[in-house]
Amino acid sequence: MSTTEHQVAGAEADDEHGATTLPTEAPTEAPQTEVRRQPLAVYVPMGVTSNYKPPKASIDPDTSKSWIKRAYPIVASHKGHFLVALILSFVGLVLQLQIPQFLSDAIDNSLGPHHTVPLHFYVYWVLVLGVIGGVAGYFSRTSLFKVAYDIEYDLRNSIYEHLTRMSFPFYDRVQSGQLISRANSDIRSVQMYLTFAPLILVQCSIAVVAFGYMLATSVPLAFVAMATMPLIYWTGIRMRKKLFPVSWVIQSRLADVATVVDENTNGVRVVKSFAAEENQLRKMATAAEKVQWAYIRDADLRARFSPLIQNLSQVGLVFVLLLGGYLVIHGHLELGAILKFNIYLLMMQAPFMMLGMLIMMGQRAAASAGRIYEILDEQATIVDRPDAVDLVHSSGDVRFDHVSFAYGTESRVALSVEDGGNPDVLSDFNLHLRSGETVALVGRTGSGKSTVARVLARFYDVTGGAVFVDGHDVRDLTLTSLRANIGVVLDEPFLFSVSIRDNIAYGRPDATDDEIVAAARAAGADGFIGRLADGYDTVVGERGYTLSGGQRQRIAIARALLINPPILILDDATSAIDVKVEQKIHSGLRVLMEGRTTLIVAHRLSTISLADRVVLLDGGKIVADGTHAELLASTPLYSEVLAQAATAEEAAAVSDIGVEGDVDVSGSH
């Protein structure tokens, strides 16, 4: 069985996954390379298919459109429930407008001197209208909130989908707190406006319908009652212009606070180890004070304009009483008409109050939408070419052909952390890893060792030359299939806040318990896992910090071994592991690396001993290539690098005594 047989997509996936086991002996021959053209099938690297329900629509990519027009496709995808909510809301408002008419008629026809209609007739009608209006309001609110949560779901998943497609250079530049803020509070601001703005506008339409009823009763009195409307409109425009920049500042500074909190949470061990709590509190207080200033400025603007918008409509009551009273006294108008006009004006106060809130929500939403679009408009730099092919079965032949690379060559966005241009990390780098060969990369810090591994997995694209896998430029292969054939173990392993079993099975969620245990044994992790209270069901803390560094690395190695990749990258993967434990892991790795192409970024002499040959890097170039003994005898720089690494390792061992050994731990270190 080939080393990547379990990774084949489509109908083959189930059968191959069912039969894939962690090899216990070296394969007899290297698998043949198989390349599949797209789009015959979608490459599935894992043994399970996702039941994820993607959003029905996403943001319009046309940046020339207004933010509302760009968000319209998401709203339109839920138009069914949205229209039901708006129509029922409008029906309920129209029914409410009938009540003043019935009250007016009751005063004129039942309480006046004529008594032409029994009073209970109007009482029944008011009760019926109230019940129907309540039912309409219930279903309107139910439909509206369903739409609200659906829109929030679509926005949140659209931005997360986009983030999953973004390349490593993007994450090198942005701050996680900025992303968290934009994916939470900014999305909520946009969702609130997209959902409730149409409802508020429908409720404000009560003014138009009520004005029609007023005109039908008395044209002069209707125009007098609505005389303050132009002033309300002008005040709203002024308020909108003043609030927009303040709303942007608020959202930006909230993101700054989120960044401080995120960095202090993730870096709490650094903060405490330097006793820097007071310094971080001052930093947090400074960020909070900036938010406070923006909120106070926002409140000041609201205090100026909101009372005008909310109370100018009440001035119409004075005009109605003056003119209406005059008309009633002189017999030109019925007494009930004055009551009807006053009730209409009182009913319109709530929509006008909401109109002020709508303006404030709109400015906050516009600012938030701009910050969200800033992310969505950023394009990934590492993408599949239109004619990219799937690498299904790989023999593991890797070649670096005149590769050059420099970090920081990508475009910037406003949320990025700016930095200057960087020199080449790799320069005219040439290296050939034959199928099944194990090569160790050795060099000083900053010589480009880890970068070699990153461009192989196409975390970054080379700026010159090319990287080939089985004769294919990695840029001509689909990212999913390329990375599915490469197992990577980093020097700083990341674990998720789930069980150890789930962490090991991250690349193969369908793996059996026997396969998971076999991978853990090969990585030297089964011993300490068995001593934990819940064994493989033990849930690790955030980033795995409830385990020691060595334990985290062993789980990361097991995670990579479980996917059984034809190409394995060990980026200083045993640096935090006790030497005695490392020897046990190496005995398992020697068997597992046979027939598998392995690239080892190494500092320890014990790790270098795993390699068939050693490559010495200096200044982004290969300065020596051969066995350990050959380089030791012929290259003084090699001996110097090993000596420096040994000194650093000895110093680290002294500081980590009792911490990074193979011990059972239950708390943070």
Both 445 and 567 in a single domain?
yes
* Mean per-residue pLDDT over the chain, rounded: 77
Q: Are residues 185 and 102 part of one domain?
A: yes
455: Cα within 13 Å, side-chain hemisphere: 29
pLDDT at position 6 is 38
637/514 same-domain check = yes
Domain shared by 124 and 195, yes or no: yes
Structure tokens at 340: 């009807």
Which domain does 634 fall in, by range? 436-461+486-655
**In this model, does residue 508 exceed pLDDT 80?**
yes
Taking the CA atoms of 288, 294, 296 and 298 in sequence, report the sign of the dihedral they define.
negative
**pLDDT tens digit sequence for 131-160:** 888 898 889 989 998 998 889 888 888 888
Q: Are residues 293 and 169 in the same domain?
A: yes
Assess if residue 8 is contained within a domain: no
Tens digits of residue pLDDT in 387-430: 888 888 888 899 999 999 988 765 444 444 444 457 888 988 99
Q: What is the pLDDT of residue 575?
A: 59
Within a domain: 372: yes
Answer yes or no: is pLDDT of 663 > 70: no
Q: What whole-number distance in Å separates Cα of residue 94 and Cα of residue 92?
A: 6
| pTM for the full predicted model | 0.68
Residue 367 and residue 455 in one domain: no
221, 95, 211, 77: which is closest to 150 by C-alpha? 77
Specify whether 367 is located in the same domain as 450. no
Most confident of 28-32, 522-526, 546-550: 522-526
Whether residue 153 is contained in a domain is answered as yes
d(CA 334, CA 406) in angstroms, rounded, equals: 85
CATH of the domain at 192: 1.20.1560.10
- Has residue 667 been placed in a domain? no
In a domain? residue 650: yes
Q: What does the alpha-carbon distance between residue 288 and residue 296 come to, in Å, rounded to a whole number?
A: 12
**Final residue belonging to a domain, choices 353, 376, 399:** 376
Question: Would you place residue 27 in the very low, low, confident or very high pLDDT band (cuts 50, 70, 90)?
Answer: very low
Quick check: is 199 in a domain? Answer: yes
Specify the CATH number for the domain of residue 551: 3.40.50.300
Q: Got the DSSP string for 232-285?
A: HHHHHHHHHHHHHHHHHHHHHHHHHHHHHHHHHHHTHHHHHHTT-HHHHHHHHH
The verdict on residue 143 lying in a domain is yes
Q: Is residue 27 part of a domain?
A: no
Residue 41 forms beta bridges with which residues?
none
For residues 354 and 440, membership in a common domain is answered with: no
214 shares a domain with 108: yes
How far is it, in rounded angstroms, from Cα 349 to Cα 268?
A: 51
Structural contact between residues 405 and 425, judged by C-beta atoms closer than 8 angstroms: yes
Phi and psi for 522 in degrees, rounded to 5?
Answer: -60, -30
Please name the residues in contact with 131: beta carbons below 8 A apart, sequence gap of 6 or more.
none
User: Are residues 246 and 152 part of one domain?
Assistant: yes
Q: How many helices (H) and strands (E) does the chain have?
A: 23, 12
pLDDT attached to residue 421: 55
339 and 222 share one domain: yes
Helix (H) or strand (E) holding 150: helix 119-165
Q: Compute the distance between CA of residue 204 and CA of residue 402 in angstroms, rounded to an integer.
A: 68
Q: Among the three residues 324, 354, 376, which one is the final residue of a domain in this structure?
A: 376
User: What kind and span of H or E run contains 325?
Assistant: helix 277-329
347 plus 450 within the same structural domain = no
Residue 233 has pLDDT above 90, yes or no: no
> Which is more confidently placed, 351 or 388?
388
How many residues would you count in the chain?
669
How deeply is 255 buried, as exposed, middle or buried, from its count of CB atoms within 10 A (0-12, 13-18, 19+)? buried
Which residues make beta-bridge pairs with 429?
403
- Per-position b or e across 119-135, b if 16+ CB within 10 A of its CB: eeebeebeeebeeebee
Summarised one tens digit per residue, pLDDT across range 596-649 is 898 988 777 777 877 889 999 988 888 889 888 888 888 888 888 888 766 655
Among 340, 357, 376, residue at a domain's last position = 376
What integer pLDDT is reported at residue 481 of this predicted model? Answer: 87
N-to-C CA span, the chain: 42
Count of structural domains, the chain = 2
Backbone angles phi, psi at 231, to 5 degrees: -70, -35
| pLDDT score of 259 more than 60 | yes
